[in-house]
Amino acid sequence: MNQRTLGNSNLKVSAIGLGCMGMSSGYGPAGEKQAMISVIRGAVERGVTFFDTAEIYGPFKNEELVGEALAPFRRDVKIATKFGFRIGPNGERMEGLDSRPAHIKEVAEASLKRLRTDVIDLFYQHRVDPDVPIEDTAGAVKELIEAGKVRHFGLSEAGAKTIRRAHAVQPVTALQSEYSLFWREPETEIIPTLEELGIGFVPFSPLGKGFLTGKIDENTKFDPTDFRNIVPRFTPEARKSNQAVVDLLNSIATRLKATPAQVALAWLLAQKPWIVPIPGTTKLPRLIENLGATSVELTPGDLREIKTASDKITLQGARYPENLQKLVGR
């Protein structure tokens, strides 16, 4: 698989990474451990070198899974994980944000053990903590980099001003935020800021939390533990209305002999050479389909067609419920 460099850093990764969250949490019951290990190792066998996890996924279980799955290949892959939440003593609940420098260093030590490694390739602040100056957060990660425990600093869902302030203390290698044809808001301010500063972009939910695959419609029923049950954009009414964007992808996919998911990912890859999407899956056939997006060639005409049609579609429903929306864009 082709490699991409995240911004002006020396962090080179596969053009498409693997988001591992859904293997442990978020989209219903956790997957069976050995089956998930097989999917992760199947990704490695197919050229994926970039794997995304976080302490909060599980909590803790996803880092342990990723650490075990990638242990035999550690020298050949890059692992990204995240800090920034305060988690209950037994990992049973999230208790709020916590990016105090001392806590960041505690999280790093614990993550290193769970990931079975001596260095974290990319350490993101999961959400901006309004109670801790971003300069203090960046400074703590800078110390971890100087100590050889972290290689690169990242932010997630941060606003443009925060990105600039953090970058002035410790260069930010990548921003991870939602971006897809289902959520194009980063095009307004975030992407120009990243381009100016030389920061890479790692879109999560590049398939619109599964919606852009074309496998979800207004009648789809989610598991009771699936996060999408509380997402306004996933109410049956919103799904029915938002089908227009899937119809757009289907029309392009049919012409190119591809799938809607492949066109959606190819569109992202075509936006900037420093964008690396991280679609998640628990199924090997879906992984193989997603990686096939690197072979989908969208012409300038295709891209113009997608943009023109997408610009005319007003998607219904917020991407987060109000309590979670407060945590993004700070």
Q: Which two tokens stand for residue 114?
A: 């769970």
Closest-CA residue to 94 (of 82, 79, 108): 82
Class for domain 3-208+273-296, per CATH? alpha beta
Query: Percent of the chain scored above 70 by pLDDT?
Result: 100
pLDDT per residue as tens digits for the range 97-107 = 999 999 999 99
Tell me the residue type at 54: A
In this prediction, residues 131-150 reach a mean pLDDT of 98
The answer to whether residue 320 is catalytic is no
pLDDT per residue as tens digits for the range 194-226 = 999 999 999 999 999 999 999 999 999 999 999
Q: Cα separation of 125 and 99, whole Å?
A: 8
Is residue 92 predicted with pLDDT exceeding 90?
A: no
pLDDT per residue as tens digits for the range 294-323 = 999 999 999 999 999 999 999 999 999 999
Q: Which of 27, 57, 124, 320 is catalytic?
A: 57
For 208, how many CA atoms within 13 A lie in the half-sphere containing its CB? 31
Instruction: Please give the model's pTM, rounded to 2 decimal places.
Output: 0.97
User: For every residue of 49-74, which 3-state class applies, written as one string?
Assistant: CEEECCCCCCCCHHHHHHHHHHHHHH
